[in-house]
């Protein structure tokens, strides 16, 4: 009797795994088709480029080089036109915390006037810090913030901040830290129009943290690959939606 049970269990387990595998392949195929459709939409935007209503500032996340935006910026530049177009991608990496990064952004953008900001991860916190009205005249005037996987409610990974590169920036992303609490307590940081974006499978920033300050939230089915948090800004689905919103 026992000999008969083992093959049955093995067969049942194989059936379960094959079902999961088939479901995963179907899900991946649907995501990839959505991405191809988004790329077709981006090519359509490039065929009829439109002017940006205001300059765009693109902010990277903690420890990320501006080069991570290469694909997104190529799509954005293809979809836009105008001799006065301004797209600025400052480097936020540095020895200080996110407040120090905000100071650098304010200085670099001093001549731009009102801007739209596209930010990934901690870059969204830098944008909100730079826009705080308590800074007086020395602040970044943001009309719209498009925050991609930004830890508005903090990131659980920031608990490892002492051993991470640029540790002060990582420490500012702690859910119970002073920096996140200060932004949450300052109504001027959420009075701008904020749209949030998040990809399923992002283990660095939970969805509830990403959408904590949003009136308009967009979530996307999990794309294929690893470390989704860092790669999501190059997802054509997300780029299509952000760029379409920028051009409105």
State which fold the 2-246 domain adopts: Rossmann fold (3.40.50)
The three-class DSSP label of residue 22 is helix
pLDDT at 16: 46
Q: What are phi and psi of 229, to 5 degrees?
A: -55, -45
pLDDT at 162: 92
pLDDT at 75: 97
pLDDT at 133: 87
Task: Give all strands (DSSP E) within 98-215, no chain letters.
Answer: 115-120, 142-148, 193-199
pLDDT at 152: 96
Residues 6+ apart with CB under 8 A from 57: 88, 89, 90, 105, 109, 112, 115, 116, 117, 118, 127, 140
Residues 6+ apart with CB under 8 A from 75: 42, 45, 46, 236, 239, 243
The upper half-sphere exposure of residue 60, i.e. CA atoms within 13 Å in the direction of its Cβ, equals 19
pLDDT at 15: 47
* pTM attached to this predicted model: 0.88
β-pairing verdict for 50-51 and 80-81:
parallel
Mean pLDDT in order along the chain per 10 residues (248 residues): 54 49 80 95 96 95 91 95 82 91 94 94 96 85 96 95 92 95 85 92 95 90 88 94 96
């Amino acid at each position: 009797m026992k000999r008969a049970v083992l093959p049955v269990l093995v067969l049942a387990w194989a059936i379960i795994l094959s079902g999961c595998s088939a479901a995963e392949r179907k899900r991946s195929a649907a995501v990839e088709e959505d991405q191809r459709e988004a790329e077709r939409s981006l090519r359509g935007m490039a065929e009829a480029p439109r002017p940006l209503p205001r300059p765009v500032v693109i902010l990277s996340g903690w420890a990320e080089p501006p080069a991570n935006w290469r694909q997104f910026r190529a799509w954005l530049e293809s979809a836009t036109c105008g001799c006065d177009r301004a797209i600025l991608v400052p480097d936020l990496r540095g020895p200080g915390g996110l407040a120090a990064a905000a100071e650098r952004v304010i200085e670099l953008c001093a001549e731009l006037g009102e801007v739209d900001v596209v930010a990934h991860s901690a870059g969204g916190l830098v944008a909100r810090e730079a826009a705080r009205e308590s800074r007086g005249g020395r602040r970044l005037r943001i009309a719209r913030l498009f925050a991609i996987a930004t830890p508005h409610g903090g990131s659980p990974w920031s608990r490892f901040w002492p051993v991470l590169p640029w540790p002060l920036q990582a420490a500012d992303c702690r859910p119970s830290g002073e920096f996140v609490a200060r932004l949450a307590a300052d109504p001027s940081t959420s009075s701008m129009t904020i749209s949030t974006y998040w990809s399923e499978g992002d283990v660095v920033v939970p969805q509830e943290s990403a959408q904590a300050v949003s009136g308009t939230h967009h979530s996307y089915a999990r794309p294929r690959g690893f470390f989704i948090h860092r790669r999501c800004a190059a997802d054509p689905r997300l780029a299509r939606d952000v760029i379409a919103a920028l051009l409105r």
